[in-house]
Amino acid sequence: MAELFKAITVAQAREMIGRNLNLQPPVKRVSITEALGKRVAGDITAEEDVPGFDRSTMDGFAVMARDTFGAMESLPAYLDVDGEIFMGKEASLAIVGGRTWRVPTGGMLPPGADAVVMVEHTEELDGRTIGVTRPVAPGENIVRRGEDVSTGSVVLARGHSIRPQDMGFLAAAGVHSLEVEEPLRVTIISTGDEVVPPERSPGPGQVRDVNSYTLYGMAGQCGAYPVIAGIIKDDFQTLKEAMEKALTGSDMVLLSGGSSVGTRDVSSRVIESLGRPGVLFHGISIKPGKPTIGAVVDGKPVFGLPGHPVSAMVVFALLVEPLLKTGRYPQNEREKRLEFPLPAKINRNVRSAAGREDFLRVELKMEQGVMVAEPVLGKSGLIGTMVRAEGLARIPIEKEGVEAGEYVLVRPF
């Protein structure tokens, strides 16, 4: 069993979890319209070229570019018009030197054409002849066949989360259905003799269950399928039975509360009894969120999150959210930077202990064209501070705080 509160870094925690992870979400074939927000289960290749033909990007005249070289308003290049190409119709007759075809935006280019002159840069002498007043280069105002994507090339890689533009791209590439990963099922358990459901009025020393609903919302926002399993008392056998049931029916278990030091803290012993490798760490060098349990049971991640709502939310963002969204933790500097992508100037001094990452709740505002982060003060047990906050600012582990005017990296909510 991991030593109690022998705190490790977030990077170490991620590495330990990732090394033992075996998340295998079920796969399902869906239509494009059902795929939004889901992860691609395997590389998707284009079934045809996009676009499927050389086409114009402007209303104008299809030409051989060399016929326009040297053209100017005072000395136009004159071309004979062979006819008009209509939308949705094939251009079968090849263009020849000194001649042109009228073409609409999106229209097919005739064979031999390598550019389009915008209609604004022409003057019509009669119905059969135009003067070109500005030259075009080869490739100007056209899109070549397969320029967007070529047949057989990878359109979307495995693990990619489908966005609206991806849906349109799939349609353009002739992909009408695809295999996606089903949402991960996450079971949420709250522990504590003092915790009561929100519909009950708490008695002396009791509190309503906040974390189940906060974590439910966060998991759902990540595309997972969250299930609230209820409130379990701090009893070894009762909690063990609930955890066994949760692991059987889900891909991940979030245990809220029960991660602090105390004689009634049974979470670590319960998790350790469920399977291997079991508890990997108990304590992360962050604030808030230090008393966090990280475990893997038979390939499934189990997290014992702190009972304080702010702490639970911070740990969820760092350790749980990446797994639900991508199935893994960030792999390179670009992916890590995207976790806290917004630079903002802090407007007050903030202390931090050496060797610990601090995560500040902040409000965001613009002052003289600069994004400013104002800390939202309050203890980690106060959920209202997260309601007022608009993001989390990170103080790196190597710093001992920040001074007013320094820039911090912020993760907007």
pLDDT digits (tens, 9 = 90+) for 358-405: 999 999 999 999 999 999 988 877 889 999 999 999 999 999 899 999
pLDDT of 193 higher than 90: no
Asked if omega into 76 is within 30° of 0 (cis), the reply is no
* Confidence at residue 2, expressed as pLDDT on a 0 to 100 scale: 56
Amino acid at 129: T
Is 27-50+147-181 assigned to CATH 3.90.105.10? Answer: yes
Q: Which two tokens stand for residue 18?
A: 């990732």
**Domain 10-25+183-334 carries which CATH code?**
3.40.980.10
Spatial contact of 43 and 157, defined as CB atoms under 8 Å apart: yes
pLDDT tens for 310-348 read: 999 999 999 999 999 999 999 999 999 999 999 999 999
The residues that bridge with 130 in the sheet, in sequence order, are: 79, 124
Q: pTM here?
A: 0.83
Q: Is 367 exposed, middle or buried (0-12, 13-18, 19+ CB in 10 A)?
A: exposed
The dihedral sign for the CA sequence 257, 262, 265, 269: positive
238-to-200, 208, 335 alpha-carbon distances in Å: 22, 20, 40
259: pLDDT confidence band, cut at 50, 70 and 90?
very low
Kind of pairing, strands 77-84 and 225-232?
unpaired
Q: Which two tokens stand for residue 397?
A: 């582990």
Instruction: Considering the chain, tell me which residue range(s) the CATH 2.40.340.10 domain(s) occupy.
Output: 340-412
User: Superfamily for 340-412?
Assistant: MoeA, C-terminal, domain IV (2.40.340.10)
Tens-place pLDDT, residues 18-30: 999 998 899 999 9
209: exposed, middle or buried (Cβ count in 10 Å: 0-12, 13-18, 19+): buried
Q: What is the pLDDT of residue 353?
A: 86
Superfamily the domain 55-143 falls into = Molybdopterin biosynthesis moea protein, domain 3. (2.170.190.11)
- Residue intervals of the chain classified under CATH 2.170.190.11 are 55-143
pLDDT at 234 (0 to 100): 82
3-state secondary structure of 159: coil
Q: Place 264 in a pLDDT band, splitting at 50, 70 and 90.
A: very low
In the chain, which segments carry CATH 3.90.105.10?
27-50+147-181
Task: Tell me how far apart the alpha carbons of residues 182 and 25 are, in angstroms, rounded to a whole number.
Answer: 6
Which residues, other chains included, contact 341 with Cβ-Cβ below 8 Å and sequence gap of 6+? 409, 410, 411
Mean pLDDT rounded to a whole number for the chain: 92
